[in-house]
Amino acid sequence: MENVNPIYQTDDLLFCSKGCLADFVIENEFESLTAAFIGLELVNVTLPPDIDRCTNCKKDLTCLSPIYSDQYCDFFCSQNCIADFYTEEKYYNYTCAGCGMELKKDDPVYVDNDGDWFCSEVCLAISNTAESFDTVEEALENG
């Protein structure tokens, strides 16, 4: 397999990792929930009623540090939670071993005896057929 790096998407933007996506959407990093309350009250932000819980996983934030917020004043317990909340789609970037074309999430995939992936039966014809899958996800589960 070639080029098997995960790609994370939010809006029309693509990121190479959850960390990069989180860095993009984090507006503030607070030392504690109390510091977050003080910081946001200073700029006259109205706080939502369930502010003591992570917007994504609903974990109690009262004893956690640090706490992250986005541009909408939603609070998160970790960079992973804020990235998970904003990730529209995570997919893997695979390319056909025959022609180099990118294999999309729902494309059929053909795998040869060496484990190389192909976009079509034509590209697979240059190798020995082992098995075919309906999607990239199915190939990942069986690979």
Mean pLDDT by 10 residues, the chain (143 residues): 59 77 81 73 58 86 83 86 79 74 76 80 70 65 64
Which of 140, 137, 102 shows the shortest CA–CA distance to 118? 102
pLDDT of 102 reads 80
For residues 55 and 114, membership in a common domain is answered with no
Element (H, E) at 142: helix 136-142
- State the Cα–Cα distance between residues 20 and 1, nearest whole angstrom: 24
Whether 125 maps to a domain, the answer reads yes
Within the chain, residue ranges assigned H as helices are 18-25, 33-42, 79-86, 121-124, 136-142
Per-residue pLDDT at 87: 80
- 4: amino acid identity, one letter: V
- Structural domain includes residue 40: yes
Which residues share a beta bridge with 76? 68
Residue 1 lies in a domain: no
- CA proximity to 108, closest of 82, 129, 79, 134: 134
Q: What is the pLDDT of residue 113?
A: 76
Predicted pLDDT of residue 131:
60
pLDDT for position 70: 86
Q: Domain residues for 51? A: 6-86
- Grouping H, G, I as helix, E, B as strand and the rest as coil, residue 39 is helix
**Number of domains the chain contains:** 2
Domain contains 103:
yes
Residue written as token pair 């009623």 = 49
pTM for this predicted structure: 0.51
User: Which residues lie closer than 8 Å to 45 by C-beta, 6 or more apart?
Assistant: 73
Whether 62 and 118 share a structural domain: no
DSSP-based three-state secondary structure for 49:
coil
| pLDDT score of 1 | 39
Backbone angles phi, psi at 65, to 5 degrees: -155, 135
Q: Are 27 and 69 in contact (CB under 8 A)?
A: yes
